[in-house]
Amino acid sequence: MTDTSSPEALRALIAGTLIERTGIEVLEVSATRAVGTMPVAGNTTPHGLLHGGASVVLAETLGSLAADAHGGEGRIAVGIEVNATHHRSARSGLVTGTATAVHLGRTTASYEIVIEDAQSRRVATARLTCLLIDDRSAG
């Protein structure tokens, strides 16, 4: 299980990762829900639009952290399927992602992740399924 019990533990966990490089700030994590923000700046295409891949990074981050919380002691979540539909673009500010559990099983967990802009307009919708594995078998 990934330790997200305190802001300090979460910061230590994401130090040096893609999560840190994209500027994602995780605001809430539980097995049923995770919420976080990501700046548009630094995560754009050459045309100045939020990169679709960055939206997927936010979605997979939030869903995976929630799945880790669901997994329990001695297990970690690894993504096995992700898809996303991009509804609109963002050019500035923060986007907010909310992962909501769809299925919390013994070996898998699935989440719908909605990403919205500062005006609460849906930017993207993603779906993530994670496999819950023994943390000694990772790698």
pLDDT at position 137: 66
Is 60 considered catalytic here?
A: yes
Structure tokens, 79: 């993504």
Q: What is the mean pLDDT of each run of 10 residues along the chain (139 residues)?
A: 72 92 96 98 97 98 97 95 97 98 98 98 98 82
pLDDT at position 8: 84
Cβ proximity of 126 and 59 under 8 Å: yes
pLDDT at position 139: 58
pLDDT at position 2: 63
pTM for this structure? 0.93
Structure tokens, 78: 């690894």
Q: Which of 8, 25, 28, 60 is catalytic?
A: 60
Under CATH, which architecture does the 7-134 domain have?
Answer: Roll (3.10)
pLDDT at position 136: 77
